[in-house]
């Protein structure tokens, strides 16, 4: 599969874990609204909660406790605003759920494929185009692979016009796809951020994918991941967040992928596969593009022989410039024989 999840849905809510003065300042806990996932992690409802605390009438919790004065949450609000800013929203506020926060069209470098039709040998040059749009409440992606040039000949020197073109186009179009990914629920998101494990305290650098629906080559399948897997890197996060949240890398082991719906006879509903996903920092150089970035990570997917059948790639390497907070390129090891590697960037 040529599935490329560039970005996931942002989380929509945040709550505070209270603590005593001996424990130190309160810690923000982010909760995902359960929207389609491939994005940042987020923080939304704290202001509303703090406002309710400040205006809470006596006895509204059913207790006989003495009602104290308004709770001062200014320090918490400031910490949350700073975290939101570090996660890519400099005004310290999150956009509305349906507002578009990411939209990008990228193309691959040319890739040559070859084949045979009767006595003719053909060669075609193809490119993949990836279009992604995302809001706080959802993300969608389309991949289209197109034929740019075609030649057919016998023995390498006798031209045969369009002989084999239809085969080449069919071969290329089989890689067209569209996909949608969905993040975990509020409660699951909160638990993952707070409990020991690879997702602990990852607020915004790595997106979470709970379910992935892929439409390709006439089939549709939906796969659920438990626990959620990394879907992409969020390019707008600050360098400090990348270092704090990911460090030398993260490994998400013993992930169960369950096919919940499928029209693909090779991967029927009910199929379960266990695998591992890892996120590793890499050098920020893309030699094919003569590009150098200050931040880069590879996400590797390993579900054995079923990795690509699940709608995943073997790996995706994200190249990010944190100065202008932009995703500059993605290098994909597809696992597809015809197009084993795609180097994707804007302006190609």
| Percentage above 70 pLDDT, the chain | 77
Which two tokens mark 269? Answer: 């509903």
Q: Is residue 66 in some structural domain? A: no
The answer to whether residues 108 and 47 belong to one domain is: no
Q: Is residue 307 in some structural domain? A: yes
Q: Residue 115: exposed, middle, or buried by beta-carbon count in 10 A (0-12, 13-18, 19+)?
A: middle
Cα 211 to Cα 219: distance, rounded to the nearest angstrom: 17
Is the pLDDT reported for residue 273 higher than 70?
A: yes
Cα 154 to Cα 158: distance, rounded to the nearest angstrom: 5
In this prediction, residue 97 carries a pLDDT of 65
The answer to whether residues 250 and 293 belong to one domain is: yes
pLDDT tens by residue, 234-261: 899 999 999 999 999 999 999 999 999 9
Which two tokens mark 99? Answer: 């507002």
Instruction: Please state the pTM of the whole predicted model.
Output: 0.81
Beta bridge partners of residue 301, listed in sequence order: 277
Residue 173's SS3 state is helix
Q: Is residue 63 in some structural domain? A: no
Cα 246 to Cα 183: distance, rounded to the nearest angstrom: 19
The answer to whether residues 167 and 281 belong to one domain is: yes
In this prediction, residue 111 carries a pLDDT of 94
**Mean pLDDT across the stretch 272-276?**
98
**Mean pLDDT across the stretch 48-69?**
49
pLDDT tens by residue, 136-147: 656 678 999 999
pLDDT tens by residue, 309-329: 999 999 999 999 999 999 999
Cα 337 to Cα 340: distance, rounded to the nearest angstrom: 5
Cα 295 to Cα 239: distance, rounded to the nearest angstrom: 8
- Residue 270, sorted as left (phi over 0), alpha (psi -120 to 50) or beta, turns out to be left
**Mean pLDDT across the stretch 91-116?**
86
The pairing of strands 13-17 and 341-345 is unpaired
The answer to whether residues 140 and 214 belong to one domain is: yes
- In which band, very low, low, confident or very high, does the pLDDT at 66 lie, cut at 50, 70 and 90? low
Which residues have a Cβ under 8 Å from the Cβ of 139 and sit 6 or more positions away?
5, 7, 8, 9, 36, 37, 38, 39, 102, 132, 133, 180, 181
Q: Is residue 2 in some structural domain? A: no
The answer to whether residues 118 and 39 belong to one domain is: no
Cα 268 to Cα 306: distance, rounded to the nearest angstrom: 12
In this prediction, residue 338 carries a pLDDT of 85
In this prediction, residue 137 carries a pLDDT of 55
The answer to whether residues 26 and 143 belong to one domain is: no
In this prediction, residue 58 carries a pLDDT of 45
Q: Which residue has the tokens 């185009």?
A: 129
- In which band, very low, low, confident or very high, does the pLDDT at 119 lie, cut at 50, 70 and 90? confident
The answer to whether residues 144 and 269 belong to one domain is: yes
What is the count of structural domains for the chain? Answer: 2
Taking each helix axis from N to C end, the angle separating 46-54 and 74-86, rounded to the nearest 10 degrees, works out to 170
Q: Which residue has the tokens 């990914």?
A: 181
In this prediction, residue 305 carries a pLDDT of 96
Cα 170 to Cα 227: distance, rounded to the nearest angstrom: 37
**Mean pLDDT across the stretch 189-205?**
90
CB atoms closer than 10 angstroms to residue 316:
26
The answer to whether residues 242 and 165 belong to one domain is: yes
The answer to whether residues 84 and 184 belong to one domain is: no
Q: Is residue 282 in some structural domain? A: yes
In this prediction, residue 276 carries a pLDDT of 98
Q: Identify the weakest region by mean pLDDT among 58-67, 120-129, 269-278, 290-299.
A: 58-67
CB atoms closer than 10 angstroms to residue 276:
15
Q: Is residue 6 in some structural domain? A: no
The answer to whether residues 293 and 150 belong to one domain is: yes
Q: Which residue has the tokens 């096919």?
A: 259
The residue with greater pLDDT, 346 or 140, is 346
The answer to whether residues 79 and 207 belong to one domain is: no
Q: Residue 133: exposed, middle, or buried by beta-carbon count in 10 A (0-12, 13-18, 19+)?
A: middle
Q: Which of 58-67, 168-177, 184-193, 214-223 has the highest mean pLDDT?
A: 214-223
| Percentage above 90 pLDDT, the chain | 54
Domain with 41, as residue range(s), is: 13-56+73-100
Q: Identify the weakest region by mean pLDDT among 10-19, 259-268, 333-342.
A: 10-19
Cα 316 to Cα 228: distance, rounded to the nearest angstrom: 17
The answer to whether residues 92 and 203 belong to one domain is: no
Q: Is residue 61 in some structural domain? A: no
């Amino acid at each position: 599969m040529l599935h490329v999840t560039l970005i996931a849905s942002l989380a929509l809510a945040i709550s505070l874990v209270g603590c005593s003065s001996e424990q130190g300042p309160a810690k923000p806990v982010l909760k995902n609204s359960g929207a389609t996932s491939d994005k940042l992690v987020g923080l939304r409802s704290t202001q509303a909660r703090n406002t309710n605390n400040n205006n809470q009438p006596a006895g509204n919790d059913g207790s006989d406790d003495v009602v104290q004065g308004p709770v001062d949450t200014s320090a918490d609000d400031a910490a949350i605003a700073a975290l939101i800013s570090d996660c890519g929203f400099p005004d310290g506020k999150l956009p509305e759920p349906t507002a578009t926060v990411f939209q990008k069209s990228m193309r691959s470098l040319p890739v040559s494929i070859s084949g045979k039709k009767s006595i003719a040998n053909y060669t075609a040059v193809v490119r993949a185009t990836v279009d992604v749009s995302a809001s706080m409440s959802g993300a969608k992606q389309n991949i289209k692979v197109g034929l740019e040039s075609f030649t057919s000949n016998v023995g390498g020197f006798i031209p045969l016009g369009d002989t084999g073109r239809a085969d080449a186009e069919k071969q290329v179009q089989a890689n067209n796809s569209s996909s949608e990914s969905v993040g975990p629920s509020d409660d699951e998101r909160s638990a993952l951020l707070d409990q020991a494990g690879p997702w602990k305290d990852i607020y915004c650098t790595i997106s979470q994918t709970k379910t992935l629906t892929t439409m390709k080559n006439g089939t549709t399948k939906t796969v659920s991941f438990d626990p959620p897997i990394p879907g992409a890197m969020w390019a707008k996060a600050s360098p400090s967040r990348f270092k704090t949240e990911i460090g030398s890398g993260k490994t998400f082991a013993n992930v169960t992928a369950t096919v919940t719906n499928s029209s693909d006879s090779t991967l029927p509903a009910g199929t379960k596969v266990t695998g591992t996903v890892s996120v590793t920092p890499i050098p920020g150089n893309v030699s094919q593009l003569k590009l150098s970035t200050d931040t880069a990570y590879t996400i590797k997917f390993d579900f054995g022989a079923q990795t690509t059948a699940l709608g995943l790639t073997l790996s995706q390497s994200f190249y990010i410039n944190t100065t202008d907070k932009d995703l500059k390129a993605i290098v994909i090891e597809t696992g597809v024989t015809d197009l084993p590697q795609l180097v994707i960037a804007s302006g190609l």
